[in-house]
């Protein structure tokens, strides 16, 4: 049964969309259609207000609190706080309420300020003035008051206030130029076309008298897709129906350029505009560190519950004897005696939970958030990652994944524009088997003393000469290139030889390279004017061709066509595209010679396109017009109908020739890939290019090496053998040689081991992913993954955008669950960027869709090396220490409290004062670890760049594994035992003050707390390798702050703060010699095991990083000026020292 109908009905009627319809009707200028034309049904649409803010003045507090308490940790501490308020607990509600209030308040202030900025931006946008036509006159009003159906006038350099259908402009040909930089980052001018029947309306009176209705699809976020039609009514005739597409749609946020003014009718307003629909944020990605942190929290929550249970049980066992349950000095009341035993036990259990709840560190969340937010600036400040050529620097779109940059195991990269420059240079063309090599022209720059044509083969025959000129005309006409306006030139542009050079603009660098290349071969494209394309031939005669139809390029067809009419009345269809899409449609031409040349160029790494044509008679053209018109005006399945129409039209072609364009490799792309492979990262290239071209690029960038044995899993091979046989054969080949290897040896860098590279195409991948007849596809997938794991590099060619995402998803959810990174520069890479754990966009020439949708953006591929091997390495080292240290210091903090219960009859008496309980995580120990997590560099930046293998030391979440976590926890338990029992045995049965007094419980607790604060702070100092004056200031300043606060709290410095139970306790403790001895002795004993462990491990089982550290110590210290942590650190951190 087909469930699509049921799903549609459920979507309509169960999702609150009772009025859901497929399309909307808009009445231009709010004028009703003429009587008898169609029913007038007024519809209500939203106004033009944009609301990007999250809160209002009235809902900020409840909504923000609701969102914050959805976080498990915040909700947990809220419950603890409420328990403290409700029952009689040993600690004041302030001890948990104040830290929680601090966290909630800081977060609310940050989010409130960000939302206030959004409100300001919204108001500025909604109140800007807009000109619109009312009763044939120009009226001005605020943008927010615009309604669907209003006719708007926009002047040059103004942005469009809403989504408009382009009606007319001051240009005679009914075109306008816009830039969409604020939408997709593309700065090139795009040409849009007015409706054919309204482009002659140039005045307010003309446009005000327009009688038309528009039918179009409901709002949807795709910037590049629009389907609609316009019915233009005249007084006598039936309405003229014209199709509307994305070329007629002017989007909110785009800017009008090189056009004095335009008129357009509003069709989508406010939050229904495509720009507003694209505000929706991407799905949240979670890092491996965050997952580890949550797992550790669950363990500590279990420890907390266990402690509370143990103490509750032991309390009632200890009180089972009557004199302990009810001593003479604490007689129970009658109501207490009659109280339910289970209720009492549950209340005591909650009280113990409150007493020990500080083992769960609420401040860790705030510290981690601050570390990620502030740490992300080190990438944006990095001058080494700034590209002088483009003036672009790195961008951080999310700081939640900083540490994930240090955990990457697989990199999936696009080829064109990512590994290559996307800077095309026309190299040669092959016509009828003859090869033509023009002199070099690239991006409008012609080398001096260059003219004429270099011909490799002999001159063509007379018939060949005709085909040659037809080929050049095809290249001049079959494109969507614009000629940049030059006000100083009136009339036709001249060729470069004549002193003037045409400046071409296109969204595709390939097209510009082809038009510039054919210009060197004697044919110059001049302009498109009044729907006529003008070219200058070799004899300097201008030829005019009427542009009848454009069959646009798309990634599925991989070709484009134009239908033009010459001055002599001949109608031609010119088609250019990938060889795989042109050859099957050709019935004539020298296919074998041209195919051989195409394959040779592809092996050399050149991008190839084939060109074909056919002549059309008038009857054929009229049939084509009807076919296209029927598809274009369809509101339902327009794209499918157009694709079917194109398929019928683009057939029975005559092959003319092929072109070859070179896309140079990016600077240091090969060095970057080599370094990443040494770091143990596997690099896969995913591209839409043909296999030979992509393979040549892979060799050039050292992904494949001379000794690499290439394995092919392509459609051609599957046609010869079955998929099952091919997979098993490849599996035997790779597993035979890699049986003795570990995964870390598979980087493809070992000279004495066989190195494999796999090439797979899109069609073969579809077969692997396709479910088998028995309903399973797992076997093929697992076999494919096993082959891929044994290969040092994989090349996936002829990939559709969704297939790229499929590949990433396949590896991402394989049994090892490796961390994946996807990098690309174009809109076709967005799907894989969103799918990978970390998505990186290259700020390239294909627009900024990739950069906008990515987690990070970089100017060039070479910057990936430093981003991963340096920044990623540092981020992971820092945050892993932060997480482990927080749990360690909280074990040190709470375990003495647990031990103390055995000495106070499980009475829930606190060991520490309320102020110490509250400020331990907020003030005394928080700043040193925050600074460490921002600035620590365990080895130098140059060392990390020079030795990529150090990246392996932190791979696979090495510093947050359970073994390391248990070590830190046991270290905390050991230190807690030393603090408690050391203080206990030092003062047991001794007089420790000069007047013979014995310390009380608050002095004992203060001594334990003092030893603990000094120990955990000095432990961090021992772990610090990168010392600056800021480290010294914060670490020693924190200890000084603790001492000063304790004196202040005890009423020594400010006597009016004589807090009852802590009055003079701290100064009395310091006046005792044994107390000083205990502090020094216990701190030393606590730190000793960790120091011994580090010394022994470094001597006996050193890691690669520790060996490098040992080597660095024998050299001159690294200067702070070499730090990449940005200008701020350069100015602040003078003369750092590595320990």
Active site residues: 414
The Cα–Cα gap between 697 and 415 comes to: 8
- β-partners of residue 207 are none
Of 42, 241, 20, 286, which is closest to residue 149 (Cα–Cα)?
42
Q: What is the dihedral of CA 564, 566, 569, 570, to 10 degrees?
A: -70
The Cα–Cα gap between 797 and 785 comes to: 17
In what helix (H) or strand (E) does residue 350 lie, and over which residues does it extend? Answer: helix 341-356
Burial class, 321, CB count within 10 angstroms (exposed 0-12 / middle 13-18 / buried 19+): exposed
In what helix (H) or strand (E) does residue 761 lie, and over which residues does it extend? Answer: strand 755-761
- The CA distances from residue 910 to 309, 478, 504, 894, in Å, are 17, 83, 78, 10
In what helix (H) or strand (E) does residue 301 lie, and over which residues does it extend? Answer: helix 288-318
Burial class, 373, CB count within 10 angstroms (exposed 0-12 / middle 13-18 / buried 19+): middle
Contact 130, 161 (CB under 8 A): yes
- DSSP states of 157-179 as a string? TPBPSSEEEEEEESSTT-EEEEE
Exposure string of 990-1016, with b = 16+ CB inside 10 Å and e = fewer, is eebbeeeeebeebbbbbbbbbbbbbbb
Residue reference for tokens 């490849």: 730
Residue reference for tokens 């923000």: 64
The Cα–Cα gap between 559 and 177 comes to: 25
Residue reference for tokens 């800007």: 128
Measure the N-to-C terminal CA separation of the chain; round to a whole number of Å: 71
User: Around Cβ 172, how many Cβ atoms within 10 Å?
Assistant: 11
Quote the tokens at residue 381.
């400040």
Contact 255, 178 (CB under 8 A): yes
Phi, psi of 792 (to 5 degrees): -75, -25
Find the farthest-apart pair of alpha carbons in the chain and give their distance in angstroms, rounded.
125
User: Around Cβ 1075, how many Cβ atoms within 10 Å?
Assistant: 23
Contact 243, 633 (CB under 8 A): yes
Contact 758, 689 (CB under 8 A): no
Quote the tokens at residue 823.
């990098």
Strands (E), 432-541: 434-438, 441-442, 445-446, 453-455, 482-483, 504-505, 524-529, 532-536
Contact 762, 807 (CB under 8 A): no
**In sequence order, which residues have a C-beta less than 8 Å from that of residue 971 and are 6 or more positions away?**
888, 1089, 1090
Of 45, 63, 57, which is closest to residue 270 (Cα–Cα)?
45
- DSSP states of 552-563 as a string? EEETTTTEEEEE
Contact 840, 860 (CB under 8 A): no
- The CA distances from residue 1056 to 1051, 1060, 1067, in Å, are 6, 11, 16
Angle between helices 926-935 and 1001-1023 (to 10 degrees): 10
Of 109, 151, 146, which is closest to residue 129 (Cα–Cα)?
146
Number of continuous H segments (helices) and E segments (strands) in the chain: 40, 39
Residue 604 Cα to chain centre, angstroms:
33
């Amino acid at each position: 049964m087909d469930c699509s109908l049921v799903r549609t009905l459920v979507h309509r009627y169960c999702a609150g969309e009772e009025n859901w319809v497929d399309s909307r009707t808009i009445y231009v200028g709010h004028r009703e259609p003429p009587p008898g034309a169609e029913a007038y049904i007024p519809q209500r649409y939203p106004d033009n207000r944009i609301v990007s803010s999250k809160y209002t003045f009235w809902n900020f507090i409840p909504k923000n609190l609701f969102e914050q308490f959805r976080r498990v940790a915040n909700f947990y501490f809220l419950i603890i706080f409420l328990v403290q308020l409700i029952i009689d607990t040993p600690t004041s509600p302030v001890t948990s309420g104040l830290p929680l209030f601090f966290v909630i308040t800081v977060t609310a202030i940050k989010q409130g300020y960000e939302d206030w900025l959004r409100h300001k931006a919204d108001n500025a946008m909604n109140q800007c003035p807009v000109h619109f036509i009312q009763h044939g006159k120009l009226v001005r009003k605020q943008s927010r008051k615009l309604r669907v159906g209003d006719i708007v006038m926009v002047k040059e350099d103004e942005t469009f206030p809403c989504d408009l259908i382009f009606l007319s402009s001051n240009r005679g040909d009914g075109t306008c130029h816009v830039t969409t930089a604020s939408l997709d980052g593309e700065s090139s001018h795009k040409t849009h076309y007015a409706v054919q029947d309204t482009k002659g309306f140039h005045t307010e009176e003309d446009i005000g008298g327009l009688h038309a209705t528009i039918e179009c699809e409901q709002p949807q976020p795709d910037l590049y897709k629009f389907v609609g039609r316009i019915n233009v009514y005249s007084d006598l005739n039936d309405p003229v129906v014209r199709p509307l597409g994305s070329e007629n749609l002017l989007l909110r946020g785009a800017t009008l350029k090189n056009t004095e003014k335009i008129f357009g009718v509003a069709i989508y307003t406010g939050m229904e505009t495509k720009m507003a629909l694209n505000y929706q944020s991407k799905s949240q990605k979670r890092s491996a560190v965050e997952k580890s942190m949550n797992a550790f929290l669950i363990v500590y929550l279990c420890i907390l519950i266990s402690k509370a249970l143990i103490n509750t049980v032991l309390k009632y066992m200890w009180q089972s004897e009557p004199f302990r349950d009810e001593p003479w000095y604490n007689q129970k009341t009658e109501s207490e005696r009659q109280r339910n035993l289970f209720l009492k036990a549950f209340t005591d259990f909650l009280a113990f939970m409150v007493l020990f709840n500080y083992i769960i560190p609420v401040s860790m969340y705030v510290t981690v958030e601050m570390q990620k937010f502030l740490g992300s600036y080190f990438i944006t400040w990095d001058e080494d990652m700034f590209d002088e050529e483009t003036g672009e620097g790195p961008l951080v779109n999310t700081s939640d994944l900083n540490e994930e940059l240090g955990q990457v195991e697989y990199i999936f990269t696009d080829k064109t524009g990512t590994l290559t420059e996307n800077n095309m240079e026309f190299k040669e063309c092959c016509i009828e088997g003859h090869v033509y090599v023009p002199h070099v022209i690239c991006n409008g720059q012609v080398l001096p003393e260059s003219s004429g044509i270099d011909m490799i083969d002999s001159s063509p025959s007379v018939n060949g000469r005709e085909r040659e000129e037809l080929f050049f005309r095809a290249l001049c006409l079959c494109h969507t290139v614009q000629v940049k306006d030059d006000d100083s030139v009136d009339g036709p542009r001249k060729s470069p030889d004549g002193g003037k050079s045409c400046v071409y603009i296109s969204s595709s660098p390939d097209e510009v390279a082809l038009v510039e290349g054919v210009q060197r071969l004697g044919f110059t494209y001049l302009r498109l004017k009044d729907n006529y394309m003008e070219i200058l031939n070799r004899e300097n005669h201008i030829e005019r061709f009427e542009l009848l139809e454009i069959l646009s390029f798309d990634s599925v067809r991989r070709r484009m066509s134009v239908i033009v009419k010459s001055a002599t009345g001949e109608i031609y269809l010119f088609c250019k595209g990938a060889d795989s899409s042109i050859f099957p449609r050709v019935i004539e031409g020298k296919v074998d010679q041209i195919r051989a040349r195409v394959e040779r160029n592809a092996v050399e790494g050149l991008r190839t396109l084939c060109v074909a044509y056919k002549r059309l008679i008038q009857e054929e053209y009229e049939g084509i017009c009807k076919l296209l018109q029927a598809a274009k005006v369809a509101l339902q399945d327009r794209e499918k109908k157009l694709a079917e129409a194109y398929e019928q039209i683009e057939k029975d072609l005559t092959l003319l020739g092929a072109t070859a364009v070179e896309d140079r490799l990016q600077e240091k792309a090969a060095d970057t890939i080599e370094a990443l492979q040494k770091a143990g990262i596997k690099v896969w290239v995913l591209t839409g290019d043909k296999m030979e071209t992509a393979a040549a690029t892979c060799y050039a960038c050292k992904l494949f090496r001379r000794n690499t044995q290439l394995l092919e899993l392509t459609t051609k091979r599957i046609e010869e053998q079955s998929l099952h046989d091919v997979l098993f054969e490849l599996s035997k080949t790779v597993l035979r040689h890699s049986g003795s290897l570990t995964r870390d040896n598979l980087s493809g860098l070992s000279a004495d081991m066989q190195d494999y590279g796999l090439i797979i195409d899109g069609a073969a991948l579809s077969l692997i992913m396709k479910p088998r007849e028995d309903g399973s596809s797992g076997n093929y997938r697992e076999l494919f993954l096993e082959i891929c794991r044994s290969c040092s590099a994989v090349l996936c060619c002829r990939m559709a955008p969704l297939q790229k995402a499929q590949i990433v998803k396949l590896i991402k959810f394989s049994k090892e669950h490796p961390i994946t990174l996807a990098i690309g520069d174009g809109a076709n890479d967005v799907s894989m960027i969103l799918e990978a754990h970390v998505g990186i966009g290259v700020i390239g020439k294909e627009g900024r869709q990739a950069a906008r949708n990515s987690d990070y953006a970089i100017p060039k591929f070479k910057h990936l090396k430093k981003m991963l091997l340096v920044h990623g390495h540092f981020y992971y080292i820092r945050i892993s220490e932060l997480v482990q240290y927080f749990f360690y210091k909280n074990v040190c903090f709470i375990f003495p409290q647990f031990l103390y219960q055995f000495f106070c009859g499980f009475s829930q008496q606190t060991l520490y004062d309320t102020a110490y309980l509250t400020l331990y995580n907020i003030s005394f120990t928080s700043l040193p670890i925050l600074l460490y997590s921002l600035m620590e560099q365990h080895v130098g930046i140059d060392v990390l760049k020079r030795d990529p293998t150090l990246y392996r030391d932190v791979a696979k979440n090495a510093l947050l594994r359970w073994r390391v976590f248990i070590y830190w926890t046991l270290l905390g338990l050991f230190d807690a035992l030393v603090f408690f029992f050391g203080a206990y045995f030092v003062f047991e049965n001794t007089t420790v003050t000069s007047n013979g007094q014995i310390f009380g419980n608050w002095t004992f607790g203060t001594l334990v707390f003092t030893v603990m604060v000094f120990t955990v702070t000095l432990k961090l100092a021992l772990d610090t390798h990168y010392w600056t004056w800021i480290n010294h200031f914060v670490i020693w300043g924190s200890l000084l702050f603790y001492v000063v606060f304790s004196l202040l709290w005890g009423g020594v410095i400010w006597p009016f703060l004589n807090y009852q139970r802590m009055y003079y306790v701290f100064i009395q403790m310091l006046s005792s010699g044994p107390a000083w001895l205990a502090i020094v002795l216990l701190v030393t004993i606590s730190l000793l095991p960790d120091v011994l462990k580090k010394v022994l491990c470094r001597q006996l089982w050193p890691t690669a990083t520790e060996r490098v550290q040992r080597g660095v110590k024998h050299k001159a210290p690294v200067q702070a000026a070499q730090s990449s942590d940005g200008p701020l650190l350069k100015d602040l951190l003078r003369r750092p020292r590595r320990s």
